[in-house]
Structure formats: structure tokens, C-alpha cells
Structure 1
Amino acid sequence: MRQVEGGLRERKKLQTREALAGAALRLALERGPDHVTVEEIAEAADVSVRTFFNYFPHKEHAILGRNPEDLERALERIRTAPEDQSPLTTMHLIISDVLHGLLSDGELSRRGELIMGSPSLLYHLMLLSLDDERQLSAALAERIGDRLRASLIVSAAGTACRVCVELHKDTPDSSPADLVDAAFELLAQGMDPDYQKGRS
């Protein structure tokens, strides 16, 4: 019985988070992110302001659709990855999951344009991304025993995702998943095999 109740509670929490994020994005698209308040987002989602702050610390996080559980799932995937799975492969799977989530909400392009046009949203996204990378790098370093390599792999994976989302915006006929696959192939093969240290 407790498992059923726990499952129901988790579903309700997810529904509330999605309602708040959806309301925040809708209002921000209609009015611009600087002209939307927490009170308006809470009212549009039919919850109290107190409930809003149970899910998001700032309105920007709600507009970005930030879900801390996404990071927890990524960290768990790193910790439980098979021993023979390469770290870049693990990051590819994580990025593919993130991309799938972005595409499934149907708002990838509009949210991306909104973020690029808002210094405040860009700032909060940068802070969140840096914190995500720090935690993912620490988890991967613990797994492979190499902090530099772990940090570079995580940073490169995040950059690949951002670049592919940007390219998809400019060429909407392209598949984001295909772009990500191609980007990770380049990372795996080495983007510049002719690199020569210290040669001018």
C-alpha cells in the first residue's frame, strides 16, 4: 500500500512541477521573461506561491524547466554503468536521454529562442550547467580515476549537446539525435588527429 501511495505522491509532484514549468514558459513566451512574476506563474498553475518555491528557487528555473531529478538520474547512470562501457558512451546515453526529454515537450525551439534572448535566463542556465558538469565530472572521476579526463569528457558532451541544439535551430530539417550521434563520433575519433604540440 505504501508503494502505491508513494507512486501516487511522486506522480502528483511531477504533475505539479510540469504544470508550473508549463505555465512559466507559456507566460514568458507571451510577455517576455522579465515581465512575469512568481505569483502569476503560481496562479496560472493553480497552486500557491509557497508551493512554487517547493519546486523552484527562482522563476528563471521554472521557465528553464529545471528538474533536479534529471541530474540524479544522470549521476546514477554513471555510478551503475557496466565496467566495460566507455565513459564517452555513458555520456552519450545521458545526453540522448536529455535530448529526448527536450524534444518530447515540443518546446525545444521556442524555449531556445527565449533563452538566447534573455540575459537573465542565460545566466541561470550557465550556473545550472556549470553545477551539473561539476557533479557529473566528480562522479565520472570516481569511476575512472582520472579527474582531467573525466572533466574533459563531461564538458565536451555538454558542449556537443548545446552545439547540436543550436544547429538544429538553424536547420530544422536536421534530426537533433542524428546531429548528437555525429558529434559523439567526432569526439570518439578525435576532432583533430593532425594536432602537433608546440608546432607553429
Structure 2
Amino acid sequence: MEITAGLRERKKAETRLAVHEAALRLTVEHGLEHVTVEAIADAANISRRTFSNYFASKEDALLYGDEQRIRLLVERIRARPAGESAWRALHEAARDVYCQMGGPDRQWVIRARLAKRHPSLLARQLANHTNLERELAQVIAERDGGSGPRPQVMAAAFLVAMRIATHLWTDEHETRPLDEIMDDVLDEMARPFDDRPFDAGRPARQDA
């Protein structure tokens, strides 16, 4: 029974990935406004009904990779040592996810650029981040053992910092590594939440 259930879950994951990749490919080729759910389903060799079993919309299919990264991020935050400050745990977890995924792949780049160009996709991405924000606030509250607005403020600030880092990275045409930009933005955002920047021990950069 366990083997059968494992095979079933792997098949579902493979189908989700196939739909996601088909959605990305068609959107790059034709533009989001010209891509339909039916076209994505055909490209992934599934029925329209099967598509609906996995995703609510084409926007959800396009953002599937972001959803996977979000789940991994929450897992990494929960696994951080209990003695770490909440902000440092968020920052370290983000770096853990970056290292595990080997840096951003081309699909990450495509999703980031598409979200900036298409309001419907950006709206869906922000909705996903709203759900993540609630989860992060809960993890922060559990770690800090406190209450009040601090967990919500910190979770929102962290997600804004990550979004700014991604936008800066794409605006700079990927000339700097994303993790370097991410560190800079998170260090800047850290000031209200941490006693010192994340990499306070590294030598200060020399301005040109």
C-alpha cells in the first residue's frame, strides 16, 4: 500500500511539473494573454478536467515553481536552531534554499519577468505570498514566544525584501548573483529586527 501511494504521489508531481513547464513554454512563445488552459492541457497531454484537478488557473500553473520554493523555505525556517533570532532564521533559511536549488534556474528568471509584465500573474503571486506571510508570522511567533504585531510585520518585511531582491536582479540583467543582492537587501531590512546585519563580520565594501 505504501509503495502504491508513493508511486501515485510521484506521478502527480510529474504531472504538475509537466503542466507547469508547458504553461511556461507557451507563455514565452505566445504571451500570457494568448495562452488558454485548453492549450496548456493539450501541450501537457492531459485533459481540461485533469488540468483542473491540479491547478485552478493558468496563473497557478505558471507559478508552481514558486509554490515549491515557498514550501521548502517554510520547512527550512522551522528546522533552524531554536536559539537563533527570528530574522536570522529567515535569512539563513533563504540562503539554504538558494544553495539547495543551486541558484535560480531559467524558469525562475522567466517567472520573475512574467510577473512584472502581467498584472494578473503578479496578483496571483501576491496572493500566494499572503498565504506564506501568515505561515511565516506563525513560525516567527512560535520562535519568539511573543505576540502583538511584530511577527506579522517581520514576515511582511521579509517577503518584501525578497521581492525587491528579485526585481533588482532582473533589472540588472543578472549581472550580479541573486544571493549577493538578496544579502544586501535583507541586511538593509534587518536593522529594526536584528542587533547587527547578517554578515556583520565580513569586511566592509569599498565604494567606487
TM score, norm. by length of structure 2: 0.78
Residue 183 of structure 1 pairs with residue 185 of structure 2: yes
Residue 135 of structure 1 pairs with residue 135 of structure 2: yes
Distance 2:188 2:6 in 1: 41
Please give the root-mean-square deviation of Cα atoms over the aligned residues, in Å.
2.7
Distance 2:15 2:8 in 1: 11
Q: Which residue of 2 aligns with 1:154?
A: 155
Please tell me whether the aligned partners of residues 78 and 140 of structure 1 are also in contact (alpha carbons under 8 angstroms). no
Q: Which residue of 2 aligns with 1:122?
A: 122
Distance 1:125 1:56 in 2: 14
Q: Which residue of 2 aligns with 1:22?
A: 21
Gap runs ≥5 in structure 1: 194-200
Distance 2:168 2:74 in 1: 27
For 1:155-189, what per-residue CA distance to the aligned partner results, in whole angstroms no more than 9, with x for missing partners?
A: 12111111111111122210101111222223334
Q: Which residue of 1 aligns with 2:47?
A: 48
Please tell me whether the aligned partners of residues 36 and 58 of structure 2 are also in contact (alpha carbons under 8 angstroms). yes
Distance 2:88 2:103 in 1: 21
Q: Which residue of 1 aligns with 2:56?
A: 57
SS at match of 2:89: helix
How far the C-alpha of 1:72 sits from its partner, in A, is 4.2
Please tell me whether the aligned partners of residues 109 and 170 of structure 2 are also in contact (alpha carbons under 8 angstroms). yes
For 1:36-93, what per-residue CA distance to the aligned partner results, in whole angstroms no more than 9, with x for missing partners?
A: 1111111101112222122211111112225655444444444443211221122123
SS at match of 1:107: helix
Amino acid at match of 1:108: W
Distance 1:69 1:106 in 2: 16
How far the C-alpha of 1:97 sits from its partner, in A, is 5.2
Amino acid at match of 1:82: P
Gap runs ≥5 in structure 2: 196-208
TM score, norm. by length of structure 1: 0.81
Given the superposition, is the C-alpha separation of residues 66 and 136 from structure 1 closer, same or farther in structure 2, using an over 3 Å criterion? same
Distance 1:11 1:102 in 2: 22
Q: Which residue of 2 aligns with 1:197?
A: none
Distance 1:95 1:114 in 2: 22
Moved more, 4-13 or 132-141: 4-13
Percent of counterpart pairs with the same letter? 36
How far the C-alpha of 1:20 sits from its partner, in A, is 0.5
Aligned length: 191
